[in-house]
Structure 1
Amino acid sequence: MEITKQQFAKHLLIEIAGLILVAIGAAGIMKVALGTGAYDALALSISSITAIEVGTVGLIGNCICIAIQILMLRKKYRLMFLLQIPVSFLMGITINYFYYIVFAGMNSDSYMIRMILLFVFIIICSFGDAIMTASGMIGLPVESTCMIFAKNLKMEFGKVRQLADVVFIILIFICWFFINFKLF
């Protein structure tokens, strides 16, 4: 979908609103600790090893994805895609704010309450993702990178995205190995 200059501000505001909802949902899902996506689980694993905040780890991962996009597309890379950088910063900051400040006291021993919260945060995250998709602008760096791989490898996006999740899970096991393996 091509966006005109007149539509740009409106679409950008819609994108930002969706992004904030995705970040709130992701922070809540991670805080409830009943399961999370592979990318967020990797960010949590790296955060636990390095003491870097989880949103900041996600920001770094997103910037790596953007660099991969630039390397893969080279001259075909559209400057508008560079908006993924401030989008990544906003997402990282929002996740950190909600995970470490707003949701800091959100600890419940009740499995039922945690399940209800998980359901609520999944709805929030899904709604935010739908808003971002409807804006037709930027998208998230991981998905955009997977889309480029899918086009270059002539594979379905869903399969490439699943392969990315497998890579993230392998990286989680590598992180776990380094945390738990003692040389001496």
Structure 2
Amino acid sequence: MNKLKRYLLFLVGLFVNALGVSLVTKANLGTSPISSIPYVLSLNFPFTLGNFTIFFSIFLIVLQILILRKNFKLENILQIPVSIAFGYFIDLTMYLFFWVDPQNYLLKIVALLIGCGVLGFGVYLEVVADVVMLPGESFVRAIVQTWNTNFGTTKIIFDTSMAVIAAALSFVFAGKLNGVREGTIIAALLVGFIARLLGKKLEFIKLFLFPEEYRNQEEIEEADETEAEQKSKNVIVIGR
């Protein structure tokens, strides 16, 4: 039952994530770093942002296989259907937000910040679900596992690289910078911060959704404390 709840929660988080990506993109100040390459490609070729998100995700999965080789676990194949669902969710939410087209720069910033908040909440839900990682994060994890790098530092380098490559592609295909702007930087800085903040403020959601696991964890901690106290008493007796 818990497994089912986790997958349902992950699906909700995936949809919320797509809502956030679409709203950030609709602000027309760039998009999130991980979506920047698909977004630039969608501006220059007859495929949607969701389509290119799927293609790019599959590419990242192939890179994971090449990096991890025999350490690539079969369960990681779940990233493929997740990527397909995420791509279609993005196209659906882009359609749902057809009316969002802020012309004033202040309204663009407001839409961007709201989108970052929604995206951060979606990331938080995916973390709470703890079943599958999206290809972007899984690719970073593959690098960390293979070359023993720091996850946070590697993620920053990865996000920066995505934005730089997207900017280069924009110049190659359009002859100008299009699709990578200040919103890309703002999203890179804000989304992770919001997800971590929500992780601290909404701890009760985990307790509400998975009370059995928390009870088991508490029992384990109590048993450990009892064992530690017993050992302490034994040490005192020996000391005497």
TM-score bucket (shorter structure): 0.7 to 0.9
**C-alpha separation between the residues in 2 aligned to 1:97 and 1:119?**
21
Q: Which residue of 2 aligns with 1:105?
A: 99
| TM-score where L is the length of structure 1 | 0.87
The one of 11, 15, 36 equivalent to 1:16 is: 11
The one of 93, 96, 119 equivalent to 1:125 is: 119
Alpha-carbon deviation of 1:41?
A: 1.8
Larger radius of gyration: 2
Does 1:146 pair with 2:145?
A: no
**C-alpha separation between the residues in 2 aligned to 1:112 and 1:170?**
26
Q: Which residue of 1 aligns with 2:52?
A: 57
Contact 2:16 2:119 in 1 (8 A): yes
Contact 2:37 2:163 in 1 (8 A): yes
**C-alpha separation between the residues in 2 aligned to 1:172 and 1:115?**
21
Stretches of 4+ moved more than 4 A in 1? none
User: What RMSD over aligned residues (CA atoms) do the two structures have, in Å?
Assistant: 1.7
Count of matched residue positions in the alignment of Structure 1 and Structure 2: 175
| TM-score where L is the length of structure 2 | 0.68
Contact 2:17 2:122 in 1 (8 A): yes
> CA-to-partner distance for each residue in 1:41-93, whole Å, 9 max, x for gaps?
22111111212101111111111111112222233222221111111011100
Q: State the AA in 1 paired with 2:86.
A: M
Flag structure 1 segments of 5+ consecutive residues without an equivalent.
Answer: 1-5
Does 1:179 pair with 2:173?
A: yes
Q: Which residue of 2 aligns with 1:33?
A: 28
> CA-to-partner distance for each residue in 1:112-160, whole Å, 9 max, x for gaps?
3332222222111111100100111101111111011012121111221
Alpha-carbon deviation of 1:180?
A: 4.3
Q: Which residue of 1 aligns with 2:154?
A: 160
Flag structure 2 segments of 5+ consecutive residues without an equivalent.
Answer: 176-240
The one of 60, 68, 89 equivalent to 1:73 is: 68
SS at structure 1 position matched to 2:133: coil
Task: Pick 1 or 2: higher relative contact order, CA cutoff 8 A, min separation 6.
Answer: 1
Q: Which residue of 1 aligns with 2:91?
A: 96
Alpha-carbon deviation of 1:38?
A: 2.0
The one of 31, 39, 43 equivalent to 1:44 is: 39
Distance 1:179 1:35, change over 3 A: closer
Contact 2:68 2:146 in 1 (8 A): no
Contact 1:30 1:40 in 2 (8 A): no
Contact 2:24 2:32 in 1 (8 A): no
Identity %: 23
Alpha-carbon deviation of 1:21?
A: 0.4
